[in-house]
Amino acid sequence: MLRKLRPASGQRTLRLRQQLGIALLAIGGLLLTPMAAYAQSPSPGSTPSVQSVQPNNGAKPNASPQSPAPAPSAPNTGYVPDLPGSAAGRLRVKVIDGRTRKPLQGAEVVVIETEKRYKTDKDGLTPWIKAPVLRSARYRFLVNELHGQLNLISYKDGYRDSVHMGVRVNEGAVTKTTIWQYKILPGPDTRVEPVLYQEPYHRLWIIQLADRFRRPSQLGEGYERP
């Protein structure tokens, strides 16, 4: 009885092993496909994501009628610059010469949070920008910020880079901001570094924040009063 059963059980085991092998091959194939695709994509951070403006670094385009170059694809950083679902306002940036206060044409403004780039026109203005309202999570459960904040960088040949942080943005509201850039002068400017401007929080929120944590036993300047 046992001898009769052995071959049958051996065949079943063999069939199970074959099925298991096929399943493993299928799983391996599924795993390898995205990895191969990832290996073909450029490494994260190697090329900036360019949405509105293609930066011209002086290199000639590699284009021939026989072999058209493939369009450069954005790197897969896992970061979604459009921030779907987040509320947005509208932002327009003006870039001016910090000394003459005249508009600067052709400056490139980068919104750091969205990684998008915009060129200024003859009036020093960027196009209207869809600006996500990003409030700092640090304060969310304590005193919600009155406004979101965005950070910008402006580049212009012959000028110091200008980093402009903390631009106030609100849902559905229009915001304008001005970036001041300073011309690099051959004489005095021996050490050239970016200029930082930190836009302050609105004073109404600062007052709220200070009052929020004030102890009645240690009043400091006291609660806001007429």
List helix spans (H) across the chain: 2-40, 203-212
Residue 80: both structure tokens together = 């979604």
Told to check if 189 binds other proteins by CB under 8 A, we report no
x-marked contacts with other proteins along 49-88 as a string, rule CB under 8 A: ----------------------------------------
Told to check if 126 binds other proteins by CB under 8 A, we report no
Using DSSP's 3-state secondary structure scheme, residue 9 falls into: helix
Q: Of 111 and 167, which has the nearer Cβ to other proteins?
A: 167
Q: Of 83 and 197, which has the nearer Cβ to other proteins?
A: 197
Q: Which of 74, 87, 153, 173 binds other proteins (CB under 8 A)?
A: 173
Neighbour tally for 59: CB within 10 Å:
6
Q: Which of residues 131-150 bind other proteins (CB under 8 A)?
A: 146-147
Instruction: Report the nearest approach of other proteins to the CB of residue 130 (Å).
Output: 16
Q: Which of 14, 16, 23, 204 binds other proteins (CB under 8 A)?
A: 204
CA–CA distances in Å: residue 113 to residues 116, 135, 167, 223: 8, 12, 12, 36
Told to check if 163 binds other proteins by CB under 8 A, we report no
Task: Please write down the long-range contacts of 4-10, taking CB distance under 8 Å and 24 or more positions apart.
Answer: none
Told to check if 200 binds other proteins by CB under 8 A, we report yes
Instruction: Report the nearest approach of other proteins to the CB of residue 99 (Å).
Output: 13
Q: Which of 32, 176, 184, 192 binds other proteins (CB under 8 A)?
A: 176
Nearest one of 180, 178, 142 to 159, comparing CA atoms? 180
Residues that bind other proteins (rule: CB under 8 A) add up to a total of 24
CA–CA dist 199, 210 (Å, integer): 19
Instruction: Report the nearest approach of other proteins to the CB of residue 88 (Å).
Output: 13
Instruction: Report the nearest approach of other proteins to the CB of residue 30 (Å).
Output: 49
Instruction: Answer for the pair 149, 111: CB distance below 8 angstroms, yes or no.
Output: no
CA–CA distances in Å: residue 1 to residues 10, 12, 27, 207: 15, 17, 39, 91
CA–CA dist 197, 184 (Å, integer): 17
Residues that bind other proteins (CB under 8 A): 94, 96, 146-147, 168, 170-171, 173-178, 197-198, 200, 202-204, 207-208, 224-226
